[in-house]
Amino acid sequence: MNRFSPLNLAALGFGLAFLYLPILLVVVFSFNASKLVTVWGGFSLHWYGVLFSSPAYLEAAWHSLQIGAVAATLATLLGTLGALALTRLGRFPGRQVFAGLMLAPMVLPEVILGVATLLLFVSLDIERGLATVMIVHATFGAAFVLVIVQAKLVGLDPDLEAAARDLGAGPVQAFMLVTVPALTPALAAGWLLAFTLSLDDVVLASFVNGPGATTLPVRVYSAVRLGISPEINAISTLLIALVSVFVIAASLLYKRSLTGRR
């Protein structure tokens, strides 16, 4: 059977157009000189200038970058510890429950996770702000980091660390000198993916943010509800570019970590 029949190619083309044509239109109209977002008025960078002169959007972007960096770092730490527990501790009591709890954020609807964390912070009388968003994003991203790091740990030869210990290195020293360098591509891929998930999130942040802690996606969502303005296309284009770079970098690093190439 010919996999590249006209019908298959047409279906592939329709699918790609359905997915990516709206994104392409957003990018194209971000360079539109007209105030009308659906009417082309010529090429212009005017709306990017408007965007970078808006204190509200700049502040929201700075919040997103802060939250993303801290949340990705915490997620990498938690996910790596979880992966080590699942691969190095054998079948300890409660292993399946632990794995299920760590991976639950991947399968739970974000609305449910947002409501649950909101109720937790309210019951503990924790004031919502940047810290609460960081905690939720770190919890969400840790599950994805765990999957990436665990895949690398499963294929890692344990005899390398044992050889380092035979040569006089302590457990911590052997882990830092042998295992961590081998995990570096996976750790970097996990960090980039967690950062991207944090930067892209709207649902979780909208539940647990507070005054003065609005992220850029939440700011954009709030603005879109009042109508699409040309600077929204400019923001969306920048977010698309940034997220694409991080996702591609994470994919390449993850592939490198699986192949074991240096």
- H helical segments located in 124-215: 130-154, 158-166, 171-174, 180-200, 203-208
pLDDT of amino acid 261: 44
pLDDT of amino acid 186: 87
Strand, helix or coil for residue 168: coil
Alpha carbon distances (Å) from 57 to 50, 183, 201, 228, 235: 10, 37, 16, 15, 9
Which residues contact residue 159 at a Cβ distance below 8 angstroms, ignoring those fewer than 6 apart? none
Counting every residue written for the chain, the total comes to 262
Which residues contact residue 127 at a Cβ distance below 8 angstroms, ignoring those fewer than 6 apart? 210
Q: What whole-number distance in Å separates Cα of residue 150 and Cα of residue 78? A: 12
Backbone torsions φ then ψ of 21, nearest 5 degrees: -65, -45
The phi-psi region of residue 168 (left if phi > 0; otherwise alpha if psi is between -120 and 50; otherwise beta) is left
- Token readout for 17 is 């157009």
- H helical segments located in the chain: 6-29, 46-52, 55-88, 95-107, 110-123, 130-154, 158-166, 171-174, 180-200, 203-208, 216-224, 230-259
Q: What whole-number distance in Å separates Cα of residue 152 and Cα of residue 183? A: 7
Task: Answer yes or no: are the C-beta atoms of 47 and 230 closer than 8 Å.
Answer: yes
pTM over 0.95: no
- Mean pLDDT score of the chain: 84
Backbone torsions φ then ψ of 237, nearest 5 degrees: -65, -45
Of the options 1.10.3720.10, 3.40.50.150, 2.60.40.420, 3.30.420.40, the CATH number for the domain spanning 46-259:
1.10.3720.10
- Cα of 141 vs its chain's centroid, Å: 7
pLDDT digits (tens, 9 = 90+) for 201-223: 899 998 998 888 888 888 888 88
User: Which residues, in sequence order, are bridge partners of residue 43?
Assistant: 32
| Segments making up each domain of the chain, as ranges | 46-259
- Give the H/E segment covering residue 176: none
How high is the mean pLDDT in each 10-residue block of the chain (262 residues)?
A: 70 82 84 79 83 86 92 94 85 84 87 91 89 93 92 77 70 75 86 90 89 85 78 85 83 70 44
Question: DSSP character for 36?
Answer: S
pLDDT of amino acid 22: 83
